[in-house]
Amino acid sequence: MATEHSLGHKHDPKRFLLDHLKRNESVAVSELAEVLGVTTVAVRQHLEQLEAAGLVERVAVTKPAGERGRGRPAAAWSLTAMAIDLFPDRHADLTIELIASIREAVGQEGLDQVLAKRSTRQQAAYAKVLGETPVKIRASSLAKVRSDEGYMAEVLDEGDRGLVLVEHHCPICDAAAECQGLCRDELETFQQLFSGVATVERESHLLSGDSRCTYRIQPLN
């Protein structure tokens, strides 16, 4: 059944379909057509466009035992993981609230201790991936790990000037703005990962007004 919230989107059929699918695990075309008040052909056209955009997908529906074998297998539609980004997300707000609450409860020193624990775990996890490999391979591995975490990282080779780790996006930007210790610990973590083989210095910083964060990695030999 359509709700008042979903009915409010009937002027935008595709948004309505996404909202309805969010509230229902999987829905048949016939039901979508009924709640939207259009033909099944029209619904299929909208769904196929949303499918092409990677937002919905077809899912198989198990028929009751007595109906199996009659005609084509039953099918319904469901949201993909990509579609989740279209709905409100307060992770950043929650993180900022938690940082403020920790600072209020245990003071800045206590917050710094929490960040230090996080940094230690993060460094250990990175070290397992990077290993004792040559500087270039180590930098590429770090960029891969950071990209997996949402930083859109890459490594530029500038010859005698060393390597530059570029992070085109910061998925924790709001939290970092609230707690500068996150950026401080990040730099220290990188420096520890290359200790003894290269120096690491931050050359640009998103929170300082730059368009991205960059780190110069200069091999020691």
Q: What is the pLDDT along the chain (221 residues), one digit of tens a residue?
A: 334 343 344 468 888 888 888 888 788 988 888 888 889 899 999 999 999 999 999 887 665 444 444 544 467 998 888 888 788 767 778 888 999 999 999 999 999 999 999 999 999 999 999 999 999 999 999 999 999 999 999 999 999 999 999 999 988 888 888 888 889 999 999 999 999 999 999 999 988 989 899 999 999 97
Domain that holds residue 50: 4-86
Q: Total structural domains in the chain?
A: 2
65 burial level (CB within 10 Å; 0-12, 13-18, 19+): exposed
Residue 180 has φ and ψ, to the nearest 5°, of -65, -20
Residue 56: name the closest of 29, 31, 37 by CA.
29
Domain boundary among 86, 108, 130: 86
How far is the C-alpha of 113 from the C-alpha of 107, rounded, in Å? 10
Q: Are strands 163-167 and 153-157 parallel, antiparallel or unpaired?
A: antiparallel
Domain boundary among 86, 110, 131: 86
Q: What is the pTM of this model?
A: 0.65
Q: Residue 49 contacts by C-beta under 8 Å, 6 or more apart in sequence? A: 14
CB 192 within 8 A of CB 123: yes
Residues 55 and 30 placed together within one structural domain of the fold: yes
